[in-house]
Each structure stands twice: as C-alpha cells, then as structure tokens.
Amino acid sequence: MRKKYIVFLSLGLILLTSGSVGAAVLFKKVQHEVITEINEDYKVTSIDTLKNVSIQYDGQTNFTVRPSQDDQFHLIHTNYEFNGTESVDWEFKEDDENLTLSITHQSTQEKLPGISFDFFRGYSDVQLLVPKGIDNLKLTTIKDTFTNVFGLNVKTIAVAPSRGIELSDITADSVKGKSDHGLISISDSTIIDSIDLTSDSGALSVDESTAKTVVMTTTSGNPKVDDSAADFKVTTKSGDIALNAVKGPITLDTINGSIDWYQNRKTFPATIKNLHGTTNLTYVNKPKNTIIHAESKAGDVFIDGKHSKDLKFGDGENKIDLINETGNIRIFFDNRDFLDDDFDDHDDIDDAHDID
C-alpha cells in the first residue's frame, strides 16, 4: 500500500511540475497581446443612384451590419489576440445602381505549449456600417459565423446565413431568408408586406414584429412566433411549431412535429393540420365569438378536459379547425391573468389587426 502512495505522489509531483512549466510559458506568451484595430471608409461614386447592395462575408468571427450616419461605408475590426493574428480585407465593385462588396476575414492561431484555455484566444469582431438610402440589401455569409443586422431602413432584405443571423429593429417592405442549418431570427421589426423564411434544419423565429404575411417553411427546423401580427402560414415536415400571443389568421401544417399554441388575445380564424404529432392549444380565457372544431381519426380529442369535438362561443365569427390523423388534440382554458407584463407595452401591434 505504501508503495502505491509513493507512486501516486510521484506522478502528482511530475504533473504539477510539467503543468507549472507549461503555465509559465503560456502566461509569458499571453503577455505579448496583439491588438488590431481597423477603421476604413469607402465613399460610393454616386450615392444618389445606388439602389442594390450585395454583401458577402467570408470569415469565422462575429459579423455585424448596422446603419452609417453618413453616405459612406465603414469597416471596423477590433481584435484582441493573444496567440495569433487576424486580418480583414474588403473589395468593392460598382456598376451604376449596383454595388457588390466582398469581405474576407482571416485568422492564424499559434499553438501554445502547456495547458491552454479558450479565454486566452481573445476577442474579435467585424462591423460594417452601410449608408442610408439603399433600396435592396442582399447578405450572404460563409463559414461558421453568427451575424447581427439591426437598425436598417430599406425596401427589401434577403439573407442567406451559414450559421445564424438575427435581424432586429428592421423597417422594410419585405424580408426574405434562406438557410440550410443556421438560425434566422427577426425581432422588434416593422415589415410592410411580407416575411418569408425557409430552412432545412435551422430554427426560424419571428418575435414582436408586424407584417402583412409571414411564411415559414422548414423540413426539420423548429418555427416559433411570439407576440407578432400578420397572416401566418407555417409548414414543417418534422419540426415543432410554437406560437404565443399571435394576432392574425393562422394556417399550420406539419407531418410529424408537435404544435403548441398559447393564445392570450383575441381569436382569429385558424386551420391547423397535424398528421402524426400532438396539437396543444391553450387559451388564457375562453374565447369570444369562436367555433372550435377538433378532429383526430386515431388520436384522442380533449376540450377543456372533456372528450369533445365541437365547441361554440358567441356567434362563432372565428372558426378554429384542428385536424389530426393519429396524434392527440388537447385544448385548455387557463383562467388566470397573463403573467408577462411585457405585453402591455405592445399595443401598437394590436392596432395592426384592430384587436379589441
């Protein structure tokens, strides 16, 4: 037993010594901090005729697009790097009303000896400021990067993110997004006409926004709508659909995904089809002027805890159709005050659909 203790003690001393040496070398390395700051400007030949801007970002660091306060493009790159170097290049091509911008971010990492921690890698961020007056903006990202776009006022925005993108505080006629695996999120935005989002397995989200129509189509991604107003059409094959406090007509269609709809406001007509998944609909209070028809060929249907297929409130102006092939349908009435006080701050969204 004593020999075992001696062996363990020896191994511990060896690990402690090697770790200390490696840490000493590491801390000596990180003392040589490399700070890179790039701030470049580009003035368009004729900003008055510029209408269409296409941006391609090729890099792995976070990327932000926001409005400029003048008539120029601005590229800002801030990098605090301990064990490597970074560079950012941009290239413009102008053609009358069109402008194409390619941004390339490159990073080289030096492998440090000893024990390495992620926080020694530093911080890196690339920002692009775009001038006002642009009609149409197209944004494509390559590699594993997350993109933030906020504060823009344009006619149309089309995005194709590689990993994920969040659009916030956007004012536009239409927004279109297409992604294979990355997230597409729109929040706090006013879209006059349409929001059209498509993905293979990436999540889709619309939050506290208004539009005339919202179309969300995905194979296995999970669409989510929260406190937004529009005419909604959401389609999935196996993704789960989540709705909360929506305002406007609803059409939902899924094959194997579940549907969860929590409604705390006025009811609008809805058609919900679910082939094999479960459908849950929860009202904070019992709806007014609504007919609910629920039908499942092989599953159970419960309305307010009882087996039922039809329920009518008032004159039945709004019809809710819930149709399942094999999944269960459950409708609940939660007679409690809504707990999220934040909804009191969004009366302007209600006005978009004349909600009482």
DSSP string computed for 226-288:
ES-EEEEEEEESS--EEEES-BS-EEEEESS--EEEEE-S----EEEEESSS-EEEEESS--S
Q: What is the mean pLDDT of the chain?
A: 83
Per-residue model confidence (pLDDT) at position 134: 93
What pLDDT is attached to residue 82?
56
Identify the pLDDT of residue 231: 98
Average pLDDT over residues 55-68: 94
105-118 pLDDT, tens digit per residue, is 987 766 555 545 44
Query: What's the rounded Cα separation, in Å, for the pair 80 and 17?
Result: 30
Q: What is the pLDDT of residue 342?
A: 35
Question: What is the pairing mode between strands 84-95 and 98-109?
Answer: antiparallel
Residue 127 to residues 57, 130, 134, 318: CA-CA distances in angstroms?
11, 10, 18, 47
Task: State the Cα–Cα distance between residues 257 and 275, nearest whole angstrom.
Answer: 8
Span 102-129, average pLDDT? 71
Confidence at residue 21, expressed as pLDDT on a 0 to 100 scale: 41
- In 245-282, which positions are buried (b, 16+ CB within 10 angstroms) versus exposed (e)? bbbbbbbbbbbebbbebbbbbbbbebebbbebbbbbbe
The answer to whether 237 touches 199, Cβ cutoff 8 Å, is no
Q: Does some domain include residue 125?
A: yes
Quick one: 160 and 244 in the same domain? no
Q: For residue 303, what is the enclosing H or E element?
A: strand 301-303
Flag whether 40 is in a domain: yes
pLDDT of 349: 39
275, 152: one domain: no
Q: Is 304 helix (H, G, I), strand (E, B) or coil?
A: coil
Together in a domain, 147 and 246: no
Encode pLDDT of 193-221 as tens digits: 999 999 999 999 999 999 999 999 999 99
Would you say residue 307 has pLDDT above 90?
no
What integer pLDDT is reported at residue 355 of this predicted model?
37
Task: Tell me the pLDDT tens digit for each residue of 145-189.
Answer: 899 999 999 999 999 998 899 999 999 999 999 999 889 999 999
Q: Which pLDDT score, from 0 to 100, does residue 79 have?
A: 80
Residue with tokens 């349908």: 329
- The verdict on residue 196 lying in a domain is no
Q: 241 and 350 share a domain?
A: yes
In this prediction, residue 86 carries a pLDDT of 80
Phi, psi of 308 (to 5 degrees): -160, 160
What distance in Å separates the CA atoms of residue 92 and residue 123, rounded to the nearest whole number? 27
Domain boundary among 169, 185, 205: 169
pLDDT per position as a tens digit, 2-42: 554 554 445 555 444 444 444 444 444 444 455 667 899 99
Contact 40, 3 (CB under 8 A): no
106 in any annotated domain: yes
Confidence of residue 123 (pLDDT cuts 50, 70, 90): confident
In this prediction, residue 78 carries a pLDDT of 84
Residue 88 lies in a domain: yes
Q: What is the extent of the structural domain holding 73?
A: 35-110+121-169
Confidence class of residue 345 from pLDDT cuts 50, 70 and 90?
Answer: very low
Number of folded domains in the chain?
Answer: 2
> What's the pLDDT score for residue 284?
84
Evaluate whether residue 272 is within a structural domain. Answer: yes
The pLDDT of residue 176 is 98
Asked, for residue 53, whether it belongs to a domain, the answer is yes
Same domain, 331 and 237: yes
Residues 157 and 88 in one domain: yes
Separation of alpha carbons 20 and 284, rounded Å: 60
Helix (H) or strand (E) holding 173: strand 171-179
Sorted by sequence, the CB contacts under 8 Å of residue 217 that are 6+ apart come out as 197, 198, 199, 234, 235, 236
Question: What proportion of the chain, given as a percentage, has pLDDT over 70?
Answer: 79
What residues does 24 pair with on adjacent strands?
A: none
* Domain presence at residue 78: yes
**Residue 287: exposure state from Cβ atoms within 10 A (0-12, 13-18, ≥19):** buried
Q: Is the pLDDT at 265 greater than 80, yes or no?
A: no
